[in-house]
């Protein structure tokens, strides 16, 4: 019998379903995968922002990961919101126990789009030194790339420089996303260890429905890696999914704030 294409997302839960495990699951399913989830935090949020949130205890996060990896044929893993250094270390320790770890994509969620902080300095340090060396790819946006690299990122050239610095953490590849840049074109910078820089460009979509774009992209990449795609091909496929979602959904009114980048 054919086994399902399982992808494990280790991330927070969004009550508005715009980001987190809900957005991850939609992206994974849109690309033909089956989403397994390990919830790291519970948030009360809508299109306007986060009203409240609570972290899940590290031992319960680990138990969820162990349950998924112990019974399902997981083809890839992605992490999103990891609430603090203890959570990062617990996840890294649990994943590091596996000699044949599936491809890991790290979406380094330091704060929400509305500005809610999740990962303080100690957590960033643990992510950089303990989790990134296990990862096939890390997907920071410009502000996250600044934090991970210690390098200011305001231009494409600075994004490329930051990617080189982040690669020194031992991660397999770095995708610095250009959504925070200006202009009519969004440019993402991909640097794979031992390879040349590759740029991905697409038109910037005029829409307020951008909540969860990073989740959709990283979950889509993880699904491509689970299928056996190389990192550049997985990135291209996930970017196409995100672009299609933004185009199809750009006039939808979800609420008073920023709606989800709904992949369909």
Please list the active-site residues: 177, 210, 212-215
Cα–Cα distance, 132 to 79 (Å, whole number) = 11
Beta-sheet strand order (sheet of 74-79): 49-55, 34-46, 6-14, 74-79, 104-106, 137-138, 173-176, 185-192, 197-203
Residue in 212, 198, 191, 195 with CA at minimum distance from that of residue 259: 212
Give me the phi and psi of 65, to 5 degrees please: -60, -45
Cα–Cα distance, 81 to 34 (Å, whole number) = 20
Q: What is the DSSP string of 20-53?
A: HHHHHHHHHHHTT-EEEEEEEEEEEEETTEEEEE
Cβ(248)–Cβ(209) below 8 Å? no
Task: Estimate to the nearest angstrom the gap between the alpha carbon of 14 and the chain centroid.
Answer: 14
Q: What is the DSSP string of 63-116?
A: HHHHHHHHHS-EEEEEE----SHHHHHHHHHHHHT-TTPPPEEE----B-TT--
What token pair was written down for 32?
A: 């033909």
Cα–Cα distance, 155 to 115 (Å, whole number) = 22
> Burial, 191: exposed, middle or buried (Cβ in 10 Å; 0-12, 13-18, 19+)?
buried
């Amino acid at each position: 019998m054919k086994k399902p294409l399982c992808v494990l997302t280790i991330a927070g839960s969004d009550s508005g379903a715009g980001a987190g495990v809900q957005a991850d699951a939609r992206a994974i399913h849109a690309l033909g995968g089956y989403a397994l989830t390990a919830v790291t935090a519970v948030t009360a949020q809508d299109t306007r922002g986060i009203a409240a949130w609570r972290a899940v205890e590290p031992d319960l996060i680990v138990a969820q990961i162990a349950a998924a990896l112990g019974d399902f044929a997981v083809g890839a893993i992605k992490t999103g919101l990891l609430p603090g250094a203890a959570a990062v270390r617990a996840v890294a320790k649990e994943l590091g126990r596996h000699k044949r770890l599936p491809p890991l994509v790290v979406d380094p969620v330091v704060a929400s789009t509305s500005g809610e902080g999740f990962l303080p300095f100690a957590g960033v340090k643990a992510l950089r030194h303990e989790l990134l060396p296990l990862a096939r790819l890390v997907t920071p946006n410009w502000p996250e790339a600044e934090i991970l690299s210690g390098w200011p990122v305001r231009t494409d050239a600075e994004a490329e420089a930051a990617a080189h610095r982040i690669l020194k953490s031992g991660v397999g590849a770095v995708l610095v996303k250009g959504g925070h840049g200006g202009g009519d074109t969004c440019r993402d910078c991909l640097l794979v260890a031992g390879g040349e820089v590759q740029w991905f460009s697409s038109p910037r979509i005029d829409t307020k429905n951008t909540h969860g774009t990073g989740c959709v992209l990283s979950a889509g990449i993880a699904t491509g890696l689970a299928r056996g795609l190389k990192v550049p091909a997985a990135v291209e496929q996930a970017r196409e999914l995100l672009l299609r979602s933004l185009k199809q959904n750009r006039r939808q009114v979800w609420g008073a704030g920023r709606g989800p980048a709904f992949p369909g």
